[in-house]
Amino acid sequence: MEVLTKLWSRGKEFLGVDYPIMAGAMTWISNYKLVSAVSNNGGFGCLAAGNMPPELLAREIDLTFAATAKPFATNLITIAPNYREHMKIAVDKGVPFIIFAGSFPRGSDIKVAKQNGAKVLAFASNESIAQRMIDSGVDGLLLEGMEAGGHIGHVSLIILLQQVLFNIKDFPIFVAGGIGTGKLVAHLLLMGAYGIQMGTRFVATEESEVHPRFKEVFLKARARDAIATPAVGSELNVVAVRAIKNKGMNLFADLQMELIQKNRRGEISKQDAQFEVEHFWVGALRKAVQEGDVDYGSLMAGQSVGLIDKVQTIRELFDEIMTDAEDELQRIRVALG
């Protein structure tokens, strides 16, 4: 593993882990058990705050600290109604890493997090936003392509690599979206990435507590089954969500039309309508994850779901990624003579 160790040494040092493989924060999935299992196996776990009740987030952070002495992050959604309280809890409890998601964090929030000892990461969807985040004081960036699951942007990882990774040097950048094999990890490291983030593959692990029916769908799904939800009109500024197509997706289209009509009649504000949209996804995801409702629940998944053919332990997943990455690097070395 000599070549691989050298390539991802910067990411290891930045995160303080054995492998700079981040487990993306997934609402109702990335709880303290999964996060601590990832971190205890040498990776980097990310606790998903979502819009959970503040007291529940506080409990999850405490349980994570109790279950692992290794570094982990709390992912905070800046547009969540409970964001302010989440931010205070994460800072007061000394979470070692804070990842801002949902929208761009305020410079003041970045400053508060860093003053209290946390390293801060934020997402960037183009070069100008990446530079803006760097200027605002973030310690690292996440580039997430639209191939990812859950809430997604508009640009593929292939483009983000060329727009951001190739143009910003000597700064911690981790990449995500559609990553499912060690071979690809090898190439991303060669391109300059400090490390990678995966979400979908961690769903299909023994340590993931999602309902067995949820995992069964993942094993059967093809890449093209994980589709992005279309926005009905532009009035609600709905952020697309990538999930495996089922009956519940049709309900989401109906919900958007209903909320647009209510907004036009003055029965609901635009902000409250947007909260209703998020409430729908949180509830639908919980149905699928905890109750196994694969017909009407939300089966959030990245297109890498098409690469999954088995459920394995996190240890087995890491071993596979590392072996395949090192084999690919050796193949490249031979090819280059």
**Measured distance CA(242)–CA(226) in Å, rounded:** 6
Higher-scoring residue by pLDDT: 50, 44: 44
Helix 182-191 and helix 314-335, axial crossing angle in degrees, nearest 10? 60
Say if 301 falls within a structural domain. Answer: no
Say if 163 falls within a structural domain. Answer: yes
**Quick one: 285 and 331 in the same domain?**
no
What average pLDDT does range 291-318 have in this prediction?
Answer: 96
Tokens representing 4 are 């691989």
**Quick one: 163 and 280 in the same domain?**
no
Say if 300 falls within a structural domain. Answer: no
**Quick one: 250 and 200 in the same domain?**
no
What residues does 241 pair with on adjacent strands?
Answer: 151
What average pLDDT does range 81-97 have in this prediction?
Answer: 96
Please state, as a whole number, how many other Cβ atoms lie within 10 Å of the Cβ of residue 164.
23
Domain holding 286, by residue range, is: 212-291
**Quick one: 49 and 159 in the same domain?**
yes
The residue written with tokens 């819009």 in the block is 51
- Over residues 178-203, the pLDDT tens digits come to 999 999 999 999 999 999 999 999 99
**Quick one: 42 and 187 in the same domain?**
yes
For the chain, how many structural domains are there in total? 2
- Residue 248 CB-half CA count within 13 A: 23
pLDDT band at 281 (very low <50, low <70, confident <90, very high): confident
Residue 233 has pLDDT above 80, yes or no: no
What average pLDDT does range 70-83 have in this prediction?
Answer: 94
Name the residue among 128, 94, 129 with its Cα closest to residue 112: 94
Is beta strand 226-228 parallel, antiparallel or unpaired with respect to 241-244? Answer: antiparallel
**Measured distance CA(111)–CA(265) in Å, rounded:** 41
Give residue 330's pLDDT.
94
Residue 172 has pLDDT above 80, yes or no: yes
**Quick one: 133 and 256 in the same domain?**
no
Asked if 310 and 204 touch (Cβ cutoff 8 Å), the reply is yes
Say if 304 falls within a structural domain. Answer: no
**Quick one: 95 and 231 in the same domain?**
no
Give the rounded percent of residues in the chain with a pLDDT score beyond 90: 82
Mean pLDDT of the chain: 94
**Measured distance CA(160)–CA(22) in Å, rounded:** 18
Tokens representing 39 are 């971190």
pLDDT band at 93 (very low <50, low <70, confident <90, very high): very high
- Over residues 123-144, the pLDDT tens digits come to 998 889 999 999 999 999 999 9
Say if 298 falls within a structural domain. Answer: no
pLDDT band at 232 (very low <50, low <70, confident <90, very high): confident
**Measured distance CA(124)–CA(146) in Å, rounded:** 12
Say if 142 falls within a structural domain. Answer: yes
Give residue 126's pLDDT.
87
Please state, as a whole number, how many other Cβ atoms lie within 10 Å of the Cβ of residue 22.
29
Tokens representing 69 are 């002495």
- Over residues 1-39, the pLDDT tens digits come to 688 999 999 999 999 999 999 999 999 999 999 999 999
Which of the residue ranges 162-166, 213-217, 268-272 would you say has the lowest mean pLDDT?
268-272
**Quick one: 250 and 170 in the same domain?**
no
Give residue 136's pLDDT.
96
**Measured distance CA(85)–CA(95) in Å, rounded:** 14
Asked if 286 and 278 touch (Cβ cutoff 8 Å), the reply is no
The residue written with tokens 């090819």 in the block is 335
Say if 198 falls within a structural domain. Answer: yes
**Measured distance CA(322)–CA(129) in Å, rounded:** 32
CA distances from 296 to 59, 166, 245, 290 (A): 29, 41, 10, 13
Give residue 100's pLDDT.
97
**Quick one: 165 and 29 in the same domain?**
yes
**Quick one: 316 and 281 in the same domain?**
no
Say if 299 falls within a structural domain. Answer: no
**Quick one: 189 and 254 in the same domain?**
no
Percent helix / strand / coil, the chain, rounded to 5: 50, 15, 35
In this structure, what CATH number is given to the domain that contains residue 60?
Answer: 3.20.20.70
**Quick one: 48 and 80 in the same domain?**
yes
- Over residues 235-258, the pLDDT tens digits come to 887 888 999 999 998 888 889 999
